[in-house]
Structure 1
């Protein structure tokens, strides 16, 4: 439920909090680990890798106001979260589980 535009890509120069840098790095690491597993249909292993993102995601939401006043910063944060969402959706649509 983004308020405003979502940037096309994540730009590190808009980061102003260490948690943003940490989450971005964790997402990049997870992409390299998860995509091959998902392509090989090794979903349990892929989900285990995604579970490793819990700490940086929690730290991000504790330290960062996603809806920042600066539209460029806000759009960049949306892009970072969209990248995270895409990573999860590349493995499974968790929202349909229940």
Structure 2
């Protein structure tokens, strides 16, 4: 398959983590855990081209997706903060 297929929730999460500057708060291992814990709470929403998603998702749906990311990220962040890794 030569098409690039992406999960829109991964993009939203990456943007949100960057906007919140969580890379300054967590180390690489914690960030990886944060992404996994967050994405495991969210459904998949695949697309091939960004225009595809824009054409087939309403503004209300896009807003709801961002809210889902925000809530899942908060839960994941709280979990990581309350359960530090033991090396």
Q: Which has the higher strand share?
A: 2
TM-score tier (shorter): 0.3 to 0.5
- TM-score (normalised: structure 2): 0.35
